[in-house]
């Protein structure tokens, strides 16, 4: 099984368009080679590089989407999981409780310290999951351990936004009528 994106290659930079510094929309994701006996797919997006001073575990889970039907071959650019658009979120698919900033779509924040890695992990499972929408990442991983048929991973990187150098006041004043 494989997962990829037309927006970036494995190990490459996630374009700014798909970050909080750009349009803040989800990148397109596509997968293929799902095992024939798959009953559901689970997508987890995580940033394992968060400083421990910000999050003690050092990992931020952006998305946990479960019970994606096995016939779904990807997620469109700009996917918004807050609605009920059957092209994006088929009936039965559940977005597990995520931090409010990420509930609608995947959008990396501008990391405060260094370039971070973002893992898009797709799990092919042998059954639909019966799971609370408030399940934690740890609970989800425990449930899918014995149900996983295949795993595919895509990793993109994103770093702190580049700040424009401040212009001297005299050059700004010429545009302000001064």
CATH number at residue 129: 3.90.280.10
| Count of C-beta atoms within a 10 Å radius of residue 119 | 15
- pTM of the entire predicted model: 0.81
| Count of C-beta atoms within a 10 Å radius of residue 33 | 10
Contact of 60 with 50, CB cutoff 8 Å: yes
Per the domain annotation, does 86 fall within a domain? yes
pLDDT score recorded for residue 86: 34
| Separation CA 27–CA 92 (nearest Å) | 22
Strand partners, 13: 157
Per the domain annotation, does 126 fall within a domain? yes
Per the domain annotation, does 131 fall within a domain? yes
Per the domain annotation, does 108 fall within a domain? yes
Per the domain annotation, does 178 fall within a domain? no
What string of pLDDT tens digits covers the 178 residues of the chain? 999 999 999 999 999 998 888 888 889 999 999 999 999 999 998 889 888 777 777 788 888 889 999 999 998 888 766 554 333 455 566 666 655 444 455 667 667 778 889 999 999 999 999 988 888 889 999 999 999 999 999 999 998 755 544 444 443 333 344 4
Per the domain annotation, does 29 fall within a domain? yes
pLDDT score recorded for residue 145: 96
- Work out how many domains the chain is built from and give that number: 1
Cβ-proximal residues to 119 (8 Å cutoff; 6+ apart), any chain: 44, 45, 46, 47, 48, 153, 154, 155
pLDDT score recorded for residue 134: 83
pLDDT score recorded for residue 90: 59
Q: Residue 169 belongs to what domain range?
A: 2-173
């Amino acid at each position: 099984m494989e997962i990829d994106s037309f927006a970036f290659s494995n190990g490459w930079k996630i374009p700014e368009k798909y970050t909080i510094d750009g349009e803040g929309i989800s990148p397109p994701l596509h997968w293929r080679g799902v095992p024939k006996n798959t009953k559901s797919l689970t997508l987890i997006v995580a940033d394992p590089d968060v400083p421990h001073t910000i999050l003690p575990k050092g990992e931020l889970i952006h998305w946990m989407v479960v019970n994606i039907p096995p016939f779904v071959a990807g997620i469109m650019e700009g996917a918004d999981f807050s609605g009920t658009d059957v092209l994006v979120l088929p009936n039965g698919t559940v977005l597990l409780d995520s931090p409010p900033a990420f509930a609608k779509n995947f959008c990396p924040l501008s990391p405060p310290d260094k370039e971070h890695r973002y893992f898009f992990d797709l799990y092919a499972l042998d059954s639909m999951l019966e799971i609370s929408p408030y399940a934690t990442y740890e609970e989800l991983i425990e449930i899918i351990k014995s149900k996983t048929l295949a795993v595919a991973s895509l990793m993109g990187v994103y770093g702190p936004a580049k700040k424009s150098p401040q212009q001297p006041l005299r050059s700004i004043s010429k545009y302000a009528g001064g």
